[in-house]
Amino acid sequence: MNGYEKRTDKKKRAIISAARELFSERGVARVGISEIAKSAGVSQVSIYNYFGDKNSLASEAFVSYIEEAISEFEKIIRSDLPFSDKLGRIMQSKNDIAETVAPHFHEQAWEDKTLHQIFQGAVKERATRLYYEFIEAGKRDGAIDSDIPTEAIMAYLMASMSILQQPDFHKEGSGYKKGVRGLFLYGLLGKPDRR
């Protein structure tokens, strides 16, 4: 990478970082390009040159959150923690993201077909591989029934994900969200120690 490319990359990262921070605080609709430019220390023209418009920048910022979250999940999955601790940390991390990021990006994400496709692509490419890795780790640790085929577990995961991806899911109360996560983890019969 030459000097010009390095400066361009640095500016783009500064713009995305500033946009993420401002969008997370106030939402995409309530943030102007001029605010992002000021926060990033660049001109508005640079933002338009690199991203075209605010919606494209919002898409890039959203994708950067997804990539960051997936990278964090990879670290957790590949750690030496017991499976139950890994699951707890991943669920907490997903909850944190849902509470801080999703309310501001979610509406835009589902209305913008391109962003929705980008999100689906990111999930399918990296997350599917992570799910397989996580399931196999759970089987090795005895936390997941090794008699259940991984493909069946994946089908269950994908069906469950459709609930989390509904446009109004982020608007539901914490009790509802906790209930959905409980069903996801323990099914209708609940935790084994409660039977």
Are 135 and 97 found together in one domain? Answer: yes
DSSP annotation string for 42-62: S-HHHHHHHHSSHHHHHHHHH
Question: Residue 104 — very low, low, confident or very high, per pLDDT cuts 50/70/90?
Answer: low
The single-letter code of the amino acid at 29 is: A
Do residues 162 and 76 share a domain? yes
Residues 93 and 181 in one domain: yes
Q: What share of the chain is helix, strand, coil (3-state, %, to 5)?
A: 80, 0, 20
Q: What confidence tier does 123 reach under pLDDT thresholds 50, 70, 90? A: low
Q: What tens digit of pLDDT does each residue of 47-86 get?
A: 999 999 988 898 888 888 878 888 888 899 889 998 888 8
**33 and 16 part of one domain:** yes
- Residue 121 to residue 115: CA distance in whole angstroms: 10
Domain boundary among 52, 67, 88: 52
Number of domains in the chain: 2
Q: Are residues 120 and 171 in the same domain?
A: yes
Mark whether 110 and 172 lie in a shared domain: yes
Task: List CB contacts of 145: < 8 A, sequence separation 6 or more.
Answer: 139
**Residues 138 and 168 reside in one and the same domain:** yes
Q: What is the pTM of this model?
A: 0.65
CATH classification of the domain holding 17: 1.10.10.60
pLDDT tens readout for residues 15-40: 999 998 888 777 777 889 999 999 99
Q: Return the amino acid letter for 137.
A: A
What's the Cα-to-Cα distance from 110 to each of 56, 69, 145, 188, rounded to whole Å? 14, 19, 35, 29
Domain span at residue 185 reads 54-194
- 46 and 61 inside one domain: no
Final residue of a domain: which of 52, 72, 88?
Answer: 52
